[in-house]
Structure 1
Amino acid sequence: MADILRRHVLLLTVAAVLFSTVPVSNSIPFIVLHGLGDKCSGGVSDYATLLSNLSGSPGSCLEIGHGGHGARDSWFMPLTLQAKLACNIVKNMTELSQGYNIVAESQGNMVARGLIEFCDDAPPVINYVSLGGPHAGVAAPPNKWCHAGPFCAIANFFLKIGVYNDFVQDHIAPSGFVKIPDEKTKYLEHSKYLPKLNNERPDQRNSTFKDRFASLHNLVLVMFLNDTILVPRETSWFGFIVDGGVDTIAVAQLTALYIEDWIGLKALDDAGKVKFVSVPGDHLMIGFDDTVKYVVPYLK
């Protein structure tokens, strides 16, 4: 994922230079949350700078996990802990104290939503832009989209134990949002992150999580039409494979999560606050024009 992001950042670097003289105003600040196997240094920080220059709002990348180890921690730190650490960082950033916006990439959306739903006594998130987020889960285990490198090798080794094994759930971050369609019972019983995030367990639904998510001013869900990473790609819009199905995808509006409004997505949509956006390209390959059209307006 890091390589994909770097390629699209190279395309945007010239634009960042062109807009480098735009003054930053007293606008609402924002943070960018990187994805799996990535870190703040390099491409993601460049993208945050570009967004700041284009919007006139102050922004920065927030490193996943412990400072400087985002690439490693995004793989091996459980999402519950990633969200907790991000919560503590945000609460100590005085510039965010009156509220802030979020732009999140891929797995970073799991941390972003943890900030929105789980972070107590935190400044409010106002606008949230999701780029290729696995909101409804992914149907294929992470080893199907990781083929090379030491992190992948270690992750794939442990995933052979089984994605819903407690050890895997506690040590391989992406396992926290894997939802294998024909193993729904195992998923609800043993997955340690996404069922809580989406209020999927009937006896554990938390109205506070729903109220916090529904309080967003704008939710922008960007799906990449040629996404080869997220299975299915419609998970970026909270869509997923029909229970017991193989290839049939239920759009968000036909899922129980939406119809019964477990997290406030329907309430947001009914209020006209959800933007379902599709852009061409593979995972995270968002172009300059689409960045200007779909991301920047929600940072001003």
Structure 2
Amino acid sequence: MVFHRLLLLTSSLLLFSSETIGSPVLQLLAPQPRPLVIWHGLGDTYGSPGILEFISLVQDVHPGIFVHSIHLDTDLKEDQRATFYGNVDEQVDLVSEQLANITELEEGFDAIGFSQGGQFLRAYVERYNSPPVHNLITFGSQHMGISDIPGCRPWDLVCQLARRAAMGGVYSEWAQKNLVQAQYYRDPARMDTYLSSNHFLTSINNELAATANNTYASNLSSLSKLVLVLFLRDDTVVPKESSWFGSYAVPDDKALHNVADKTIVPMRLQPLYLQDWIGLRALDERGDVLLETCPGEHMQVTRDCWEPLVKRFVGGATTKYVVPDREVLLVQR
């Protein structure tokens, strides 16, 4: 109802203007689905068969939708390597420039982040958000970091080398600048070391009062919807509740440090949430944070899981009114 009233008001104002000053009558363009941006996960590439198939299926759901798959290198092997090696702050900066130079995205877009691509897209929203993200969906992402470095497939040499280097010195200066997973490794048993060494996750979660950025909160809370998807049988992301902004509690000196004895601190009990360091609480209290699940293991994104979310939160129609030689007016729903 509000949309239709806004539409009628916009039309009336423009028609009145054209009649009184002799400008050409406005032109109504056909509604188009809002564009979509995808950021793939660890070990994947922007043009892998799985990503290309997913894009095709999304285009079946929303005919005519423009989809951009983020790349850190146009060479597929180098793009895959960049999921293991690189400075994440620099990668997010590179992506912000990439998105700003795509004409189809200039009015904004919806976004889907797979695994680590989810927290990287959140970093984009908090730090740049120009062009702006409308709805953000993250699948199995590590918003509160990981407390273990996942294992690798036997034949994946690049992964094995990165994992070995990370396990050998995850909080070393070199690892925190060059190993992607190390930059969101958050060990609750070594919180002081994490807070003093980490540059990426502590930043996007505003965990350091001395460097806190209020823009992050205003940008994240500008989202229409933040959809957080957790995989119920995820044993790759440790703990899996990180996908919902959960984390292991910081142990006291007498606590046992095995997984069975660790307590999960859920999103709404996190200091990050309670003190609203990044705008998550404001977004949630509006009813715009949705906690969803997929039944399988990490990144087993079945159609039954992703399709209802893509139908609801991707590709909302955009309607444009154009007056020749004048600024384009945009009404979205």
Q: What is the TM-score when the length of structure 1 is the normalising length?
A: 0.87
Conserved 8 A contact 1:44-1:61: no
2:83 partner letter: S
Matched, 1:31 2:37: yes
Deviation per CA, 1:193-221: give whole Å up to 9, x if none: 00001101122111001100110000100
| Partner in structure 2 of residue 118 of structure 1 | 127
Kept after mapping to 1: 8 A contact 2:227/2:290 = yes
CA distance in 1, matches of 2:206, 2:64: 33
Residue type of the alignment partner of 2:118: N
1:245-284 alpha-carbon deviations (Å, 9 max, x no partner)? 6510011001101111111111011001011001200011
1:136 counterpart letter in structure 2: M
* Whole-Å separation in 2 of the counterparts to 1:224 and 1:295: 17
Q: 1:187 aligns with which of 190, 194, 215?
A: 194
What's the offset of the Cα at 1:232? Answer: 0.5
Q: Which moved more, 1:100-109 or 1:147-156?
A: 147-156
| CA shift for structure 1 position 88 | 0.7
Q: Which residue of 2 aligns with 1:104?
A: 113
Change (3 A) 1:76 1:134: same
Task: Give the superposition deviation at 1:57.
Answer: 5.4
Q: Does 1:135 align with 2:143?
A: yes
2:152 is matched with which residue? Answer: 146
Letter in 1 for 2:233: N
The CA RMSD measured in Å over matched residues stands at 1.6
Q: Distance in 2 between matches of 1:291 and 1:75?
A: 26
* Equivalent pair of 1:77/1:172 in contact (CA under 8 Å): yes
Given that 2:66 and 2:104 are in contact with CA atoms closer than 8 Å, whether structure 1 keeps it comes out as no
1:88 aligns with 97
CA distance in 2 between partners of 1:57 and 1:180 (Å): 44
The offset of 1:26, in angstroms, is 1.1
Contact 1:223/1:278 (CA < 8 Å) preserved in 2?
yes
Give the alignment partner of residue 54 of structure 1, picking from 58, 61, 69.
Answer: 61
Give the counterpart letter for 2:178 in structure 1.
H
User: Equivalent residue for 2:15?
Assistant: none
C-alpha contact (below 8 Å) 2:140/2:299 kept by paired residues: yes
Provide the residue aligned with 2:331 in structure 1.
none
Q: Who is 1:14 aligned against?
A: none
> Which residue among 242, 249, 269 is the counterpart of 2:264?
249
Identical-pair percentage: 29
**Is the alpha carbon distance of 1:287 and 1:156 closer, same or farther for their aligned partners in structure 2, counting shifts above 3 Å?**
closer
Distance 1:287 1:261 in 2: 33
- Where 2:84 maps in the other structure, the secondary structure is helix
> In 1, are the aligned partners of 2:37 and 2:70 still within 8 Å (CA)?
no
- The 2-side partners of 1:63 and 1:113 are apart by 14
Matched, 1:75 2:81: no
Contact kept, 8 Å, 1:136 with 1:235, in 2: the verdict is yes
Distance 1:164 1:110 in 2: 19
Map of 1:148-167 to 2, 5 A cutoff? 148=154, 149-167=156-174
Structure 1: unaligned runs, 5 residues or longer: 1-23
Higher helix share: 1
Please say if residues 45 and 60 of structure 1, whose CA atoms lie closer than 8 Å, have aligned partners that are also in contact: no
Residues in 2 aligned to 1:57 and 1:29: alpha-carbon distance in whole angstroms: 9
- Residue number in structure 1 paired with 2:285: 270
* Distance (whole Å) between structure 2 residues aligned to residue 37 and residue 63 of structure 1: 14
- 1:236 aligned residue (238, 243, 246): 243
Matched position secondary structure for 1:126: strand
Could you give the per-residue CA deviations for residues 132-159 of structure 1, whole angstroms, max 9, x where no partner exists?
110011111x2x4225321123213322
Counterpart of 1:5? none
Residue identity opposite 1:115 in structure 2: Y
- The Cα shift of 1:25 comes to 5.8
Residue 186 of structure 2 aligns with an amino acid whose one-letter code is: K
Q: Note if contact 2:118-2:137 (Cα within 8 Å) is conserved in structure 1.
A: no
- More off after superposition, 214-223 vs 152-161: 152-161
Question: Equivalent residue for 1:200?
Answer: 207
Work out whether residues 25 and 56 of structure 1, in 8 Å CA contact, stay in contact via their aligned partners in 2: no
Q: Which residue does 1:279 correspond to in 2?
A: 294
Distance 2:211 2:45 in 1: 34
Aligned counterparts of 2:247 and 2:196: Cα–Cα separation in 1 = 19
